[in-house]
Amino acid sequence: MTHAGRQRLKLLAFFAIFALPVAVAWGMVEWRIGIPEGRTAHGELQPSLPILSQWPLTAVEKDGEGDWLLAFDCPERCAERADRWWRLHRALGREADRVSRLRIGGGGEPLPGAALSQWTASPEWRSPHRLWILDPEGRPVLGYAPEVAASDVLDDLRRLLRLNPEPPMARYDQASSVVGGGTDGQ
């Protein structure tokens, strides 16, 4: 092979190195080969549910104003279910203070760190033993069936917290308003 032939071969190999990945990617998109399912959340998206302030509940309290909320409907066997979500809350580690828990229904005292509320009416979208994750503004984000694995909820919650970081000074702003008594600079 002559020198010019080797140079042409090198040039063709160079073009192939850059063109081959583009051709493979185009084929994957065109024929849907090797494309992941696209599922990222284990729960069901809940855009049709009303915001928390419109739920027919007695008073609802959250630990922090900017907290995400784990709300679970508990008409029976509340101690077992509450313990399950308490353990999940603890598994969040340092992010646990960004999440509050709300038990809806059931008798007895809630576990530490959880609030208790009751249904004043039963809405048509209510499903007993259901768990919802609500954003800091009270919008339902994800809903889970009663048999959901706690690890799936934990994965989703960690992902939501990672994708929606807390403002860097939020903890200090809350602490200074408590220490200062909330007196607006007086």
| CA proximity to 43, closest of 183, 143, 158, 174 | 143
Average pLDDT over residues 92-116: 87
Same domain, 159 and 105: yes
Same domain, 114 and 68: yes
The pLDDT, as a whole number, for residue 39 is 61
Q: What pTM value is reported for the model?
A: 0.69
How many domains, the chain? 2
Query: Has residue 178 been placed in a domain?
Result: no
Q: For 14-30, how does the pLDDT look when each residue is reduced to its tens digit (9 = 90+)?
A: 999 999 999 998 888 88
Of residues 95 and 59, more confidence is placed in 95
**Cβ proximity of 89 and 102 under 8 Å:** no
What separation in angstroms does the CA of 163 have from each of 159, 166, 175?
6, 10, 24
Is the pLDDT score of 149 beyond 60? Answer: yes
The pLDDT, as a whole number, for residue 72 is 92
Query: Has residue 18 been placed in a domain?
Result: yes
The pLDDT, as a whole number, for residue 54 is 92
The pLDDT, as a whole number, for residue 91 is 94
Which domain covers residue 122, as residue numbers?
44-165
d(CA 98, CA 137): 13
Query: Has residue 171 been placed in a domain?
Result: no
Q: For 125-139, how does the pLDDT look when each residue is reduced to its tens digit (9 = 90+)?
A: 998 889 999 999 999
Same domain, 90 and 2: no
Q: Which two tokens stand for residue 181?
A: 């008594």
Query: Has residue 105 been placed in a domain?
Result: yes
Query: Has residue 104 been placed in a domain?
Result: yes
